[in-house]
Amino acid sequence: MNEIEQALSEIKDMIAKSAETTSTDTFSPAGRSIFSPENLEEEIKYLVPTDTPLRNRLPRVKGMGQATSWKKMTSKLHSRMQDPTDIGTNTTIAFADAGAPSETSQTYSIATATYKLLGRKLEVGGMALAASRGRDGQPDMQKSRERAKMYELLLGEEEMLIAGDSSLRTNEFSGLYKEITTNSGTCTFVTASGVGAWCRTLFGYGAEPTLLVASARQLQALADELEKSGSIQRVVIAQSELGGLTGGYALAKIVNPVTGSLIEVKPSRFVGYGGLLLTEKSPAGEVWIEAEELIPVSRVDVPSSNFSLISFIIEAMALKVIGEPFSLKFSTGAV
């Protein structure tokens, strides 16, 4: 198809989408119904902002119906063989010959969440769109603005995953700050010792955190603290990096002092005076936090009586915190 044929085809599509029937409540032609969204997941795969770490990491599953429900585990998993008494299920694992092992029951609560719509509206004038075709620097105005709105949508989802509150704003789903209720902490600035104490708390529940999310200011404070303590260097420098060192530190991981595992560190623009220490999966690989999508990120072309192209960039989803006691939220004294 040459450029003229392509342009004629695009104009034909625009006319079809903007045609309206004013005497009925139906669209004409029916093929332009707003209930036929175009899935943008393939484009999203190439648009992975570094400032949406949770959105990038969380498993995403397909949803059905108007709401989702799941069993939220609220208890510990392992037995209690010795003090302290607040560790485990307080039930012995041993049993006598010809007997039966003890039975424990984990505590679950039934959690439900309705899917919430997230989106941005995009409208481009027909003449502006036509004038942008083949122009240097912006060959397709619609596509470039569509990518900007997709990026905005991802940022908005990231913020809601952290700070969404359905009780205050009914169109939102509740984020991790609302969903995590068992374990919490407080500090002025995040320190290695403080992270270690939180890891020890989660260890008591059988959890091993894998992700620390905090503000840029908090992570700078943590990196500064780890840079040195008196004359003791507390960071690891590879042998290959001893020559021509670059000043400063970008903290990528921190050691869990309880288990020796590494916790990834990610900055967030949306945590405010707080942060999250998350256990994303169980040792057996069971997912503890996931997103459920009713509508994946999609573009919906909306009928217009104006000479313009209107699109909605939307998604519908809910957040599921399945293993609630295995993560921790904390508040800080500085953003």
Q: Are 186 and 244 in contact (CB under 8 A)?
A: no
- Measure the CA–CA gap between 197 and 208, rounded to whole angstroms: 13
Q: How confident is the model at residue 288 (pLDDT cuts 50, 70, 90)?
A: very high
Q: How confident is the model at residue 88 (pLDDT cuts 50, 70, 90)?
A: low
CA angle 218, 272, 291 (to 5 degrees): 105
> Which residue, 56, 65, 63, is CA-closest to 157?
56
Q: What mean pLDDT is predicted for residues 216-243? A: 72
Q: Does the pLDDT at position 253 exceed 80?
A: yes
- Measure the CA–CA gap between 135 and 39, rounded to whole angstroms: 27
More confident residue, 9 or 329: 329
Q: What is the bridge-based pairing of β-strands 274-278 and 289-302?
A: unpaired
Q: Are 320 and 70 in contact (CB under 8 A)?
A: yes
Report the top-level CATH class of 34-77+113-230+247-331.
Answer: alpha beta
- Measure the CA–CA gap between 29 and 32, rounded to whole angstroms: 6
Q: State pLDDT tens for residues 37-47.
A: 677 776 766 66
Longest dimension (CA), the chain: 86
- Measure the CA–CA gap between 121 and 313, rounded to whole angstroms: 6
Q: What is the pLDDT of residue 21?
A: 44
- Measure the CA–CA gap between 225 and 48, rounded to whole angstroms: 30
**Where along the chain do its domains lie?**
34-77+113-230+247-331
- Measure the CA–CA gap between 152 and 168, rounded to whole angstroms: 22
In this structure, what DSSP letter does residue 152 have?
Answer: H
Q: Does the pLDDT at position 302 exceed 80?
A: yes
> Which residue, 139, 199, 175, 214, is CA-closest to 321?
175
Measuring CA to CA, how many Å separate 200 from each of 176, 182, 329? 20, 14, 14
Percent helix, percent strand, percent coil in the chain, to nearest 5: 30, 25, 45
Q: Does the pLDDT at position 105 exceed 80?
A: no
pTM of structure: 0.78
Q: What is the pLDDT of residue 192?
A: 93
Measuring CA to CA, how many Å separate 164 from each of 9, 207, 243, 271? 42, 25, 47, 11
Q: What mean pLDDT is predicted for residues 83-112? A: 75
More confident residue, 231 or 149: 149
Q: How confident is the model at residue 50 (pLDDT cuts 50, 70, 90)?
A: confident
CA angle 155, 209, 174 (to 5 degrees): 40
